[in-house]
Amino acid sequence: MKFGVIVFPGSNCDHDAWFAVNRNLGHPAEYIWHDSPTLGGVDAVILPGGFAYGDYLRCGAIAKFSPVMAAVRKFAADGGPVLGICNGFQILVEAGLLPGALIRNRNLKFICREVRLRTETLDSPFTAAAEPGQILRMPIAHGEGCYIADERTLDELGAEDRVAFRYVENPNGSMRDIAGILNAQRNVLGLMPHPERATEPLMGSSDGLVVFRSLVMAFQPTAA
Amino acid sequence: MSTLTITPDLVAQHQLADSEYQKIVSILGREPNYTELGIFSVMWSEHCSYKSSRLHLKKLPTRGKLVVQGPGENAGIVDVGGGYVIAFKIESHNHPSFIEPFQGAATGVGGILRDIFTMGARPIAVLDSLRFGPLDDPQAGPRNRRILQGVVAGIAHYGNCFGVPTVGGECVFEPCYNGNPLVNVFALGVAKKDDIFYARAAGIGNPVIYVGAKTGRDGIHGASMASAEFTEESKQKRPNVQVGDPFLEKLLLEACLEAMQTGAIVGIQDMGAAGLTCSTCEMGSRGGTGIEIELDLVPQRETGMTPYEIMLSESQERMLLVAAKGREDEVFQVFRKWGLDAVTIGKVTDDGLLRVRQHGQVVAEIPNRELADEAPLYDRPHTDSPARPLAPSPAHEPIPPQQALLTLLASSDICSKRYIWQQYDYQVRTNTLAGPGADAAIVRIKENGVSIAMSLDGNSRYCYLSPREGAMLAVAESCRNLATVGAQPVAATNCLNFGNPERPEIMGQLVAAIEGLGDACRFFDTPITGGNVSLYNETLGEGIWPTPVIGVVGLMPTAAPVTRDFKAPGRSIVLLGGLGDCDETRFGGTQYAKVILKELWGLPPALDMDYEKRVHAAMREIVAAGLAESAHDLSDGGLAVAAAECCLGGVGAALHFESDFSPEFLLFHEGPSRILISTARPDGIAEIAARHAVEAPRVGITMNSALAIRNRNATLVIAKIDSLNAIYEGSLENQLGS
């Protein structure tokens, strides 16, 4: 299974996502430059963390206009799995691929720490390899990770089983403890925590591998 | 402007002494014009020329078998094996951080990061050494709190966006920093040994290329500002502080590293202090060449800038590079890809001159070598520091030891700095094996199986009592921190923060501290490969205490590190190094003296370097043998504070001593050379310690949920871990009122 890691100017977790996939998961990964019109035949796309275009405006507000985003949109519409981590989640929300918005943490400060996530659904290519309700340890590192949406959207996300992860202890004020959500087709996941930073014991946790292994499992259901 | 007449007043405004002006005239063989005067004034400022300290800095050891590059380049370089090197250095950004905390600290991070990637190394770690006035100071408290919050937010803003983990550091509070906060930033990067780049202009006729942000009027005379005391007027110097753009710096990093791969780059230097002036003349001087530039070609974001302003601007995120003639396009192509300005602004010449033109007219013409390397050198008069009283005032009553421990755990120097470091992304790049709060920060190098341990240390209380001994203790502690995690120290960088060197007692502190650093670094085999001197840290005539900060780097194989917290109940606790020694005089620099008795006297703790080194060797062997389940060195607050800190993970301890010390000395003296270890195999540790002729008494056993300390039949401390944690973790936020 071939992964593509999008590189926006200002992405800074692109190398980490590549390393997690290539070394710790053991699948090929390649970088895709932000002005590329195509995705070069990858099987899954990762929008990594960082500060695309500096995020001096609203996080992700400029990145959504990158040429590569048209290809990402089409890839997603065709059912290809798209994983947005941290800044990648912010970009997916700005691009309208996921509902809601991400605003400044409730304490108005950047927060870097380990959190615990509860897996809320197994019905997605990102969580299929998890145990029901599995608690995953992985870090967050963001200043604007407070998830908000109107009540109807929140209800809808709940009713359609589209909340992938909730925080066990809410670190940033996110509504209904939401840490990660799926689109209606369930092939786009955005989450603020960093699964790629939890992919080997030396990182302090390997729980993030669940997300990547799920993708591999969904891609080759018979091999899993 | 260049036709402005040079008057004695104008020379004085540029902080050049008469003798310095005469030297300029003799170098040029004529009077300088206004632009040239400005150029000399920044290059010969204390900040750029080290004119007060150079003579003494020569006493520092700089060579070692792993040292590839010592002082004199943008950063020091050390071989770490497997074809890889690390580049690292520490720099101060004290003055700007006082005037504008957020941008001052942010651009401090930006500046040192550029120094690292200029050499072809990708930054993989940042540590910060911070000093502020007390947060509860009746007058200055509110301002100190604002400065701390601004500095921390500025460091976070720049480092997080750039994508370098801020993995450790220290933060200390003393009244002497009320008007003089210190912001020292250490950065470390990794490069292939064959891909190191130097700041040298070589190859006559090669193009000189300007890359990065456009030049504006910001930061003009920043280097001179950093070379003067603060007065009431300094607050009006806000325009001298630059504004940082970490996103642009990130692009610059990626573009520079990519451009270096083309093989078309001959030399490269960042534009930091003294901007275009410094980068041109230093590259020329190092290469033994001349450089000619045309200012009309320099990208500018303001109109009508004079040669003086363009040459002295300290606009951030700019680099100067020399490319191989005919291969410019390869370089331009990379920078275009990253959306950056890159233009040829001049060429390398054979006449050794820095020749600056505007509209084709020569506006400055100065020999590079004399400008960059022949700055005035001063042997300033220096006197020994006045001795402090050897004993405390008689009025002191000891307080119950438990109360003292709780007070110390809540005190600003000792309490948890989580509030600060949680704002830093300390994990980006997924190399952080030990982050903030650990004895030493550890980052791995993914490519070669080696990890780098780093520790920043400085103790101005000790240095106030004895600059020489305090400096040596800082080196010892830094090396001890590395040994605690099993790392072998290999090199060091230093940042010397002092007051006004024109005062003989301040100069005396500087000389003594440098000598102490030199002796200790020689002894511990940690050559100093570069660093920074920050003088004139005075406001309204009040100088800071001598504050040398040392950053030691060490090597270890990549593996899960030994950490501070006790891991399981029922384990033996060993005090490697033993109880140490103390008397009334040597107790006067402790945190107990500062926090509980509110007085400092006497001398810092006594250091036996030979013993210290044996403790380190033993500790490394203990770690390598896998005998230490946890380890934590004793430093501020002594034995009781170290023991309490080891308990904060949830596993407690019962310690029992048979000591003649008073409870205060036993629990709180800060004698060095001691490490607290928990182990399932105390015999193995005893055997190693004996071989190194180091004491290693078994002093207790780990247990659930409480810390108990007894001496003979007296219970000195009995406290629940939850309550220790609440005090330790909550204190800083309480003090900040947020």
CB-CB neighbours of A206 under 10 Å: 16
Q: What is the C-alpha to C-alpha distance for residues B604 and B586, in angstroms, rounded to an integer?
A: 5
Closest CA relative to residue A136, chosen from A153, A114, A162? A114
Beta strand B572-576 with B542-543: parallel, antiparallel or unpaired? unpaired
B558 touches chain A (CB under 8 A): yes
Distance, CA of B518 to CA of A9 (rounded, Å): 44
* 3 state DSSP class of B374: coil
* Cβ contacts of B245 on chain A, cutoff 8 Å: 54
> What separation in angstroms does the CA of B542 have from each of B207, B413, B534, B547, B599?
48, 22, 15, 14, 19
CB contact under 8 A, B247 and A53: yes
The answer to whether A197 contacts chain B (CB < 8 Å) is yes
Could you tell me the pLDDT band of residue B533, with boundaries at 50, 70 and 90? very high
Structural tokens at position B636: 């501020």
Give the burial class of B278: count Cβ atoms within 10 A of its Cβ; 0-12 exposed, 13-18 middle, 19 or more buried.
buried
Which residues is A11 bridged to in the sheet? A50
B221 as an active site residue: the answer is no
Q: Taking the CA of residue B549 as centre, how many other CA atoms within 13 Å lie in the half-sphere pointing to its CB?
A: 29
Which stretches in chain A have pLDDT values below 70?
Answer: 220-224
Among B35-49, B211-225, B639-653, name the most confident range: B639-653
B250–A12 CB contact, under 8 Å = yes
What average pLDDT does this structure show over B650-658?
98
Q: Distance (Å) from the C-alpha of residue B35 to the closest C-alpha of chain A?
A: 36
Q: What is the mean pLDDT of residues B26-33?
A: 96
Give B66→chain A minimum CA distance, Å: 27
Q: State how far residue B423 is from chain A, nearest Cα, in angstroms.
A: 5
Which DSSP symbol is given to B334? H
Residue type, B723: S
Rounded mean pLDDT of B548-555? Answer: 98
Q: Tell whether the model's pLDDT for residue B233 goes beyond 60.
A: no
DSSP letter at A220 equals S
Residue B492, beta-bridge partner list:
B528, B552
Residue B317 half-sphere exposure toward CB, CA atoms < 13 A = 24
Q: How far away is chain A from the Cα of B430, in angstroms, using its nearest Cα?
A: 6
Question: Residue B716 is which amino acid?
Answer: L
CB interface of B with A, residues 566-595, below 8 Å: none
Q: Tell whether A14 lies on the interface with B, counting CB pairs under 8 A.
A: no
Q: Which residues are CB-contacts of B313 (< 8 A; sequence separation ≥ 6)?
A: B215, B216, B217, B218, B219, B220, B275, B276, B305
Q: What is the pLDDT of residue B738?
A: 53
Query: What's the CA gap between A75 and A83, in Å, rounded?
Result: 12
Question: What value of ipTM does the predicted structure carry?
Answer: 0.96
Residue from the list B250, B427, B558 with its beta carbon closest to the beta carbon of A197: B427
- From B464, B474, B460, select the one nearest B516 (Cα to Cα): B474
Say what percent of chain B tops pLDDT 90. 90
Concatenating the DSSP letter of every residue in A18-70 gives HHIIIIII---EEEEETT-SS-TT-SEEEE--B-GGGGSSSTTTTGGGSTHHH
Query: Is any Cβ of chain B less than 8 angstroms from the Cβ of A152?
Result: no
Q: Please determine, for residue B234, whether its predicted confidence score (pLDDT) is greater than 60.
A: no
Give the closest-approach CA distance of B441 to chain A in angstroms: 14
- Supply φ then ψ for residue B183, to 5 degrees: -125, 100
Look at strands B353-358 and B290-294 and give their pairing.
Answer: parallel
pLDDT (0 to 100) of residue B225 = 60
Q: What are phi and psi of B636, to 5 degrees?
A: -55, 125
Chain B CB contacts of A56 below 8 Å: 247
Mean pLDDT score, B674-701: 98
- Runs of H (alpha helix) within chain A: 14-19, 68-77, 87-94, 151-159, 209-219
Dihedral in degrees, nearest 10, Cα atoms A84, A88, A90, A91? -110
pLDDT at B398: 81
Number of neighbouring beta carbons within 10 Å of residue B693:
10
At residue B169, the 3 state secondary structure works out as: strand
For residue B53, the tally of other CB atoms under 10 A from its CB is 23
Whether B93 is catalytic: yes
* Least confident interval from A70-74, B11-15, B291-295, B483-487: B11-15
**B482-508: average pLDDT:** 97
Please, which pLDDT band fits residue B1 given cuts at 50, 70 and 90?
very low
* B531 burial via Cβ count (<10 Å: 0-12, 13-18, 19+): buried
Quick check: B574 pLDDT over 90?
A: yes
Nearest to B430 among A19, A51, A55 (CB): A19
Contact A53 B444 (CB under 8 A): no
Tokens 């943008």 identify what position? Answer: B74
Cβ A141–B558 below 8 Å, yes or no?
no
Instruction: Name the pairing type of β-strands B361-367 and B342-349.
Output: unpaired
pLDDT of residue B226: 62
- Per-residue exposure over B80-116, b if at least 16 CB sit within 10 Å of its own CB, e if not: beeebbbbbbbbbbbbbbbbbbbbbbbbbbbbbbbbb
| Helix, strand, coil % over all residues of chain B, rounded to 5 | 40, 25, 35
Q: Are B183 and B104 in contact (CB under 8 A)?
A: yes
Residues 6 or more apart whose CB falls under 8 angstroms from that of B435 comprise: B165, B167, B168, B421, B426, B427, B441
The number of beta carbons lying within 10 Å of the beta carbon of residue B361 is 11
Q: With cut-offs at 50, 70 and 90, classify the pLDDT of residue B3.
A: low
| pLDDT of B4 higher than 80 | no
Q: How many CA atoms lie within 13 A of B586 on its CB side?
A: 17
Catalytic residue among A34, A86, A120, A142: A86
Q: For B165-287, list the strands marked E by DSSP.
A: 166-173, 182-192, 207-212, 265-270
Query: Between B2 and A69, whose confidence is greater?
Result: A69
List the single best residue of B157, B430, B445 to mutate versus A (max A Cβ within 10 A): B430
Separation CA B114–CA B116 (nearest Å) = 5
Q: Tell me: pLDDT of B236 over 60.
A: no
CA distances B137 to B206, B541, B730, Å, are: 57, 19, 19
Q: Cβ of B430 and A12 within 8 Å?
A: no
Of A16, A51, A139, the CB nearest to B429: A16
Question: Between chains, do B424 and A112 touch, taking CB under 8 Å as contact?
Answer: yes
